[in-house]
Amino acid sequence: MKRVVSISLGSSKRDHQVETEFLGEKFRIERIGTDGDMERMIAMIKELDGRVDAFGLGGMDLYIRVGSRRYLLRDAARVARAARQTPMVDGGGLKDTLERRVIAYLDREGLINFRGKRVLMVSAVDRFGMAEALDAAGADLICGDLIFGLGLPIPIRSLASFQRVAYLLAPIVRLLPFKILYPTGKEQEKVDNRYQHYYQDAEIVAGDFLFIRRHLPPELPGRVIITNTVTAADIEELRRRGIKTLITTTPEFNGRSFGTNVMEGVLLTLSGKRPDNVTPADYNRLLDRLDFKPRIVNLN
């Protein structure tokens, strides 16, 4: 049996594991949170290195991705170096393929007509592929990277503007401590209500779930959330707040959608390649065979 383990900087309360089968191959996939402790992440990776088939890097990205450019995050690189034998992926390859396909699927199947819809992406730099697909589908896109990532109340109102800002800031941002860029440990449980009006103005909120939840208003009736990595408790919380529809880009396993880093670890294992050699075409071929469909949950 193949084993894929996501070592996450996030809360251990969100841990999950499941055994399942992909393309005739049995897999055990797990998510292990380290409650914001980066040194514990490194120790756990060293302990499992060479004993599992792939690592997923959870709760942090290896790269800031904008267009065809990648900027290696300094803190994430230090964690990734702990894996000397087992390949490690952060989900970026799958975000750039699967999540583009999900937006195209929703549009093509008439499930959501994105044209003219006000869509708030809480962090486009985390999901550039999804942002580009939403822009191509005609969405009225607002990128919240400066607001939710850096605490600057400046909405970026087009993908072209986002790219210009990202190209300017990414070489500096990549050097910052990761905890400044993304909530870790107990910070993930805090609520920040400074920017809730951006949610109120949007019809669809998309992106990383912890970013979304951190700023989510107590009531947001009728909206659509597009994300992944949600637990059963998260779904009930969204229902209480009046969210109309939840869409997760990764499939459900026993009531839980795993992060893209976990699923990318599965696809990497199926490909038989090293991370540096696998291409978007490889992922797309595997996705064609797996026939993943987004999970759509009508909540209210």
151 with 123: CB under 8 angstroms? Answer: no
Stretch (H or E) spanning 246: strand 245-248
Q: Name residue 191's amino acid.
A: V
pLDDT for position 124: 93
Best CA proximity match to 270, nearest among 5, 36, 27: 27
CA distance 3 to 7: 13
Q: Which residues pair with 54 in a beta bridge?
A: 4
How far is the CA of 169 from the CAs of 65, 107, 154, 176, 234, in angstroms? 12, 32, 14, 11, 32
| Residues composing the chain | 300
94 with 264: CB under 8 angstroms? Answer: yes
pLDDT for position 154: 95
pLDDT for position 181: 79
Please give the model's pTM, rounded to 2 decimal places: 0.90
pLDDT for position 204: 98
Best CA proximity match to 64, nearest among 151, 150, 155, 152: 150
How far is the CA of 186 from the CAs of 37, 116, 183, in angstroms? 11, 37, 8
pLDDT for position 13: 86
Mean pLDDT by 10 residues, the chain (300 residues): 95 90 95 93 97 95 88 94 96 93 96 97 93 97 93 94 94 88 73 91 95 93 94 93 95 81 96 94 95 92
54 with 268: CB under 8 angstroms? Answer: yes
pLDDT for position 236: 95
31 with 58: CB under 8 angstroms? Answer: yes
